[in-house]
């Protein structure tokens, strides 16, 4: 009797396994066919500015850069575009390597360092005993298709230079640049992003060094 009971148990186990096999295969097939899967987006990064006007002041004060604030539409890794002035969209298969404001903050720091006119510059998180804080807002950072046959990239940053420790605003300025893409391809559009941002970074660095030095000299 024990042997018959053991055989019956084995048969039931085999039947249960056989019944579960189609379900397992079905689930596996569903997992392979999940909608929305496709090629990953291409990742892009922009470059810091490395050429500046001659005659800028060499400063020995220290500067901290806060991450630019931006509205939700630009505070993303997605590459933005506009088909009309009132609608914001994104390229389907392209992303920045970081959220746009953080990427721009990194490029600001590197651009100041590349100028070789300032003794120390860094993010707020590095703990510098700074003489100034540069606060900024990323207001425009998109490719625009409503000006002509080919897209143009618009970058705009508003900056406020704040003197420590009293946190007095000693200067406020807006910087904007537009760079046309040579063709309506993603690589040309990213190049236009790089050109527009590079122009803004150049002006931002030069204005900060000059404005900060004037105020620092005056005490």
* Tens digit of each residue's pLDDT (9 = 90 or more) over 91-149: 999 999 999 999 999 999 999 999 999 989 999 766 778 999 999 999 999 999 999 89
Q: Kindly indicate the confidence band of residue 216, based on its pLDDT and cuts at 50, 70 and 90.
A: confident
CA distance to 47, 50, 155, per residue, from 213 (Å): 26, 20, 26
Confidence category of residue 217, pLDDT binned at 50, 70, 90: confident
Most distant CA pair in the chain: distance in Å?
105
DSSP class of residue 148?
A: S
- Looking at residue 128, its pLDDT comes to 74
Name the residue among 132, 137, 141, 181 with its Cα closest to residue 157.
137
Alpha helices in 61-158 (DSSP H): 100-115
Per residue in 125-137, pLDDT (tens digit) is 667 789 999 999 9
- 120: which 2 tokens? 């120390």
pTM (2 d.p.): 0.81
Q: What's the confidence (pLDDT) of residue 187? A: 97
| Pair 97, 114: CB distance under 8 Å | no
Confidence (pLDDT) at 154: 98
In the predicted model, what is the mean pLDDT of residues 61-90?
Answer: 97
More confident residue, 195 or 217: 195
Residue pLDDT, tens place only, 47-67:
999 999 999 999 999 999 999
């Amino acid at each position: 009797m024990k042997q018959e009971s053991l055989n019956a148990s084995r048969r039931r186990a085999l039947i249960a396994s056989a019944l579960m096999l189609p379900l397992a295969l079905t689930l596996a097939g569903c997992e392979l066919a999940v909608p929305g899967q496709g090629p990953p987006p291409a990742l892009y990064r922009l470059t810091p500015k490395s050429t500046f006007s001659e005659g800028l002041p060499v400063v020995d004060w220290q500067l901290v850069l806060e991450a630019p604030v931006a509205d939700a539409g630009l505070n993303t890794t997605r590459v933005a575009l506009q088909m009309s002035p009132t609608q914001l969209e994104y390229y389907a298969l392209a992303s920045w390597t970081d959220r746009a404001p953080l990427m721009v903050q990194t490029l600001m720091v590197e651009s100041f360092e590349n100028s070789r006119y300032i003794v120390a510059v860094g993010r707020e998180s590095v703990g510098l005993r700074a003489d100034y804080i540069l606060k900024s807002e990323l207001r425009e950072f998109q490719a625009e298709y409503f000006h002509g046959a080919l897209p143009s990239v618009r970058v705009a940053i508003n900056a406020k230079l704040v003197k420590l420790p009293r946190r007095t605003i000693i200067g406020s300025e807006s910087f904007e640049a537009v760079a046309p893409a040579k063709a309506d391809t993603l690589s040309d559009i990213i190049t236009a992003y790089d050109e527009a941002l590079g122009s803004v970074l150049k002006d931002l660095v030069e204005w900060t060094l000059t404005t900060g030095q004037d105020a620092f000299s005056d005490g």
